[in-house]
Amino acid sequence: MIPEKMKAWVLGNPGELKLVEKPVPRPGAAEVLVRIDAIAVCATDLEVIYHGPPALIQGGDPFNRNFTPGHEYMGTVVRLGPGVDEFDVGARVTVEIHAGCGRCERCREGMYTACLNYGMNYGDHDKGHRANGFTTDGGFAEYAVNHINTLVQVPDDMSDEEATLVVTAGTAMYGLDVMGGLIAGQTVVVVGPGPIGLMGVGVAKALGAQPVILTGTRADKRRLELGKKLGADHVVNVHDEDAVAAVKRITKGKGCHYVLECSGAPDAVNEAARMLNRGGRICLAAFAQELVLVDVAYLVSNNIYLFGIRGEGRSATHRAAALMQQKRFDARLIHTHTFPLEDVPTAIRYARERVDDAIKVVVKMRH
Ligand SMILES: [Zn+2]
Ligand SMILES: [Zn+2]
C-alpha cells in the first residue's frame, strides 16, 4: 500500500532541516517510485545543507524551497511509470544521482553528471534535468522518483547499508575511468582517506593497479588501516613521512602513474604533480574550500594531465556495483553509524563533526 503522503526532511535556512509531510511523488514515463530503505550521508550533502551549491533549485539556492536533500540512497521499486518494464515492483535498487536531461550534447556522450542543462527543470526552463538531492528532491524522505537509467539492481546478499555505498564507489570508478582506466599493473596513489578515497583504493585494487598507495593528512590511523583492508599496498601518514617523498621511495624514484585526489587540500594539485612520473594523470574528486595556487609550469613541462570529475558519469556506478557484487572489496568497512529517519539531523552532525570517528553514516528507514 502506497500512502498519499510521506515524511520528508526539507531544507529551511542554511543548516536547518525540518521534518514535514509531502505528497508521495508520482513516476512519469521512464520513471519509477522508489520506497527508500536506506540513505548514506555524504560530504556534499553537508555542502548543500550549509552552503547551497552544488544544489540548484529553480535557478537559485536550495533554501526555503521545500527541497529535500540527500542523494546516496537505495530502496525498493514500488510503482512503475507508464511504459516501464525494465524493473519489476519489488526490485531492490540503488541509485545514481544524476539522470541529466537526456537531450544535451554531454548527456548524449554519457557525461550526464556534466549535463549542460543542470538545474533546468522548471517553468520555461524545463529541460527535464534530474539530479536527486541537487536539482530535484532527494532521499531524506520515505519515497523518491527515479529515472530508470539511474537504477542499479542490488543483489540479494548485499545489505541495504552496503548498497548505499555503491554510488560512492561509482564516483571513484568514474575518476579512474576519466584518467584512462587501464590501470592493471600501474601505480595509483589515492590522496585522502575519506569515503571516496577509500572506495578508490578498493576499486583501483580490484582493477589490478599495483601498487596502490593511500596517503592521509590527518592523524588518521583508523582510516588508513581501513585503506589497508580495502587493498592499499602502502599507506602513508603524512605526519610521519612527506607524501611525495614516500611515493618516490615506494616507486623507487619513478613516481606513480595516477593520482586520485580526494582531499581537497590547498596544495593537493602541486603535491600530486610531484608524485607523478612525467606524463602522469591527476583526477580531482574533491572540492577545495578556497582558491588555490597551482604550479602550471611544472604541469606543462612534465606533460601532466589534470582532470576534474563531477559525480559518477558513464554508468560507472554499474561497474562499481559489479565489483561489489563479486566481493572484490568490502565497502561495508567504511559504514560506521546508523540512525532512523527521525534522526537525520543527528546523522548529519555525526558526519559533519566526525563524532566517534564517523566515516559513512547511514540513515535506515523503519518499515
Ligand atoms: Zn555523495
Ligand atoms: Zn543534459
For residue 181, pLDDT over 80 is answered with: no
Do 357 and 256 reside in the same domain of the chain?
A: no
Domain enclosing residue 197, as ranges: 169-308
- Region 226-245 average pLDDT: 96
What is the percent of the chain where pLDDT is above 70? 99
CB atoms within 10 A of CB 92: 18
Which of the ligands is closest to the CA of residue 135? 2
C-alpha 85 – ligand 1 centre gap (Å): 28
Burial 107-119 (b: 16+ CB within 10 A, else e): beeebbbbbebbb
pLDDT at 118 over 70: yes
- Pair 212, 348 in one domain: no
- pLDDT tens profile 25-55: 999 999 999 999 999 999 999 999 999 999 9
Looking at the fold, whether 243 and 343 belong to one and the same domain comes out as no
Q: Give the pLDDT band (50/70/90) at residue 218.
A: low
- Does position 20 have pLDDT exceeding 80, yes or no? yes
Which CATH number characterizes residue 21's domain?
Answer: 3.90.180.10
Output the pLDDT for position 175: 97
% pLDDT > 90, the chain: 96
Regarding whether 253 and 286 lie in a shared domain, the answer is yes
Q: By CB neighbour count within 10 A (0-12 exposed, 13-18 middle, 19+ buried), where does 71 fall?
A: buried
Report pLDDT for 171. 97
In this structure, the answer to whether residues 254 and 354 fall within a common structural domain is no
pLDDT at 367: 58
Whether residue 243 lies inside any domain: the answer is: yes
Between the CA of 133 and the centroid of ligand 1 the distance, in Å, is 9
For 148, the grid coordinates are 530508470
Closest CA to 169 of 123, 206, 129, 200: 200
Question: Could you report the per-residue pLDDT of 327-355, keeping only the tens digit for each?
Answer: 999 999 999 999 999 999 999 999 999 99
Cα of 312 from ligand 2 centre, angstroms: 14
Mean pLDDT for the stretch of residues 103-124: 96
pLDDT of residue 219: 60
Give the pLDDT of residue 220: 77
Mind listing the pLDDT tens digit for each residue in 242-299? 999 999 999 999 999 999 999 999 999 999 999 999 999 999 999 888 999 999 999 9
Statement to judge: residues 186 and 293 lie in one domain: yes
278-281: list long-range contacts, CB under 8 Å, 24+ apart. Answer: 278/302, 278/303, 278/304, 279/303, 279/304, 279/305, 280/255, 280/256, 280/304, 280/305, 281/179, 281/180, 281/257, 281/305, 281/306, 281/307
Say if 150 falls within a structural domain: yes
Query: Are 11 and 45 in the same domain?
Result: yes
| pLDDT for position 6 | 98
**Domain CATH number, residue 190:** 3.40.50.720
Residue 230 has pLDDT above 90, yes or no: yes
Q: Are residues 18 and 142 in the same domain?
A: yes
157 burial via Cβ count (<10 Å: 0-12, 13-18, 19+): exposed
Ligand 1 center from residue 43 Cα (angstroms): 6
φ, ψ of residue 5 in degrees (nearest 5): -120, 155
Q: 196 C-alpha vs ligand 2 centroid, how far in Å? A: 25
Question: Are residues 204 and 183 in contact, defined by beta-carbon separation less than 8 angstroms?
Answer: yes
pTM flag (> 0.75):
yes
Q: 147 C-alpha vs ligand 2 centroid, how far in Å?
A: 14
Asked if the structure places residue 119 within a domain, the reply is no
Cβ-in-10-Å burial (0-12, 13-18, 19+) of 222 comes to: middle
Number of domains in the chain: 2
Q: Are 260 and 188 in contact (CB under 8 A)?
A: yes
Give 125 Cα–ligand 2 centroid separation in angstroms. 13
- Residue 26 CA to ligand 1 center (angstroms) comes to 24
Query: What was the pLDDT predicted at 289?
Result: 86
